[in-house]
Amino acid sequence: MPSISIIIPVFNESDLIQNVCYKLVSDLNKSEQISDFEIILVENGSSDNSPILIEELTKKNNRVIAFHLPNPDYGLALKTGIQNAKNEFIINFSVDFVDLNFLYEALYDIEKCDIVLGSYNIEFSDQRSIIRRIGSSVYNSLSSFILGEDVKGSHGFKLMKSKIAKQISEECYMTKDIFDDEMIYRMIKNKHKIIKKPLIFNEIRKPRSGIIKRGMRAFVLLIYLKLLIIFKYKASN
């Protein structure tokens, strides 16, 4: 049976983090589909008492491991988790969305590929608000156009072979909002096989940041990433 490292970036999650972790540990301890697991919480720049609650979790359960970053940076949090994962496979969840059914199903598919990508934008599975669905669709089209590869769905769950995830994440220039886009872009460029599966996600709270503001920030970063890729390629030839 496989061993799993679960990475969860944490930013101002004091209302949810402990209950989510307790349930996740309990459910995984009962699982007959994995041999071992660790939960890597990467707190990044929280202004609430999330760091304190996370440390309490690590003291109560040795399955939970914590890392703390000084500033809010989702991409760096995910990259930190990947680089410190110890098990055979890596998957990312979010505090407000954990889907073990996706994990178990993806474990069957990972035998035929290098990464199983769970996306909200496949087979009409997106149950979010109409504004977020439209925003997500526009962003996916824009990011794929700028990078020149189909990186649609890159911000969903990713079950990855640990060795490959570590190598690819180390190569990435960017963190913040577009780390996922660059990861999938590099997976494609390195000819790693990707299988996409639908995610069904119902919002349990309002988004943390405005979709327009976040989209504009990501657009600037995508342009910057594309320029880096172009100039790095020219410099190497």
The pLDDT value given to residue 211: 62
110 touches 161 (CB < 8 A): yes
Residue 129 predicted with pLDDT over 80: no
- What is the SS3 assignment for 8? strand
State how beta strands 3-10 and 157-161 pair: unpaired
Greater model confidence, 131 or 61: 61
Residue pLDDT, tens place only, 108-126: 999 999 999 998 666 555 5
Q: In 88-129, which ranges are continuous DSSP H helix?
A: 100-109
Greater model confidence, 178 or 137: 178
Q: Would you kindly state where each structural domain of the chain is located, as residue ranges? A: 3-128+153-206
Backbone φ and ψ of 6, nearest 5°: -105, 120
Half-sphere exposure of 78 (CA within 13 A, CB side): 30
- 214 confidence band (pLDDT: 50, 70, 90): confident
The pLDDT value given to residue 204: 59
pTM of whole model > 0.85? yes
Residue pLDDT, tens place only, 50-91: 999 999 999 999 999 999 999 999 999 999 999 999 999 999
DSSP-assigned letters across all residues of 9-45: EESS-TTTHHHHHHHHHHHHHT-SS-SEEEEEEEEES
Greater model confidence, 57 or 134: 57
Residue 191 predicted with pLDDT over 70: yes
DSSP-assigned letters across all residues of 49-94: SHHHHHHHHHHH-TTEEEEEESS--HHHHHHHHHHH--SSEEEE-B
Residue 11 predicted with pLDDT over 70: yes
Please enumerate, as own/partner, the contacts of 99-108 that have beta carbons within 8 Å and a separation of 24 or more. Answer: 99/157, 99/199, 100/24, 100/27, 100/28, 100/31, 102/157, 102/197, 102/199, 103/4, 103/157, 103/159, 104/31, 104/33, 105/197, 106/157, 106/159, 106/197, 107/2, 107/33, 107/34, 107/159
The pLDDT value given to residue 147: 94
- What is the SS3 assignment for 96? coil
The pLDDT value given to residue 151: 92
- What is the SS3 assignment for 116? strand
5-20 average pLDDT score: 96
Identify the weakest region by mean pLDDT among 3-12, 178-187, 207-216.
207-216
149-165 average pLDDT score: 93
Retrieve residue 69's tokens. 């970053």
Retrieve residue 232's tokens. 């790095």
The pLDDT value given to residue 212: 67
187-209 average pLDDT score: 80
Q: What is 3-128+153-206's CATH topology?
A: Spore Coat Polysaccharide Biosynthesis Protein SpsA; Chain A (3.90.550)
Q: What is the mean pLDDT of the chain?
A: 89
CB atoms within 10 A of CB 82: 26
Backbone φ and ψ of 196, nearest 5°: -105, 140
24-48 average pLDDT score: 95
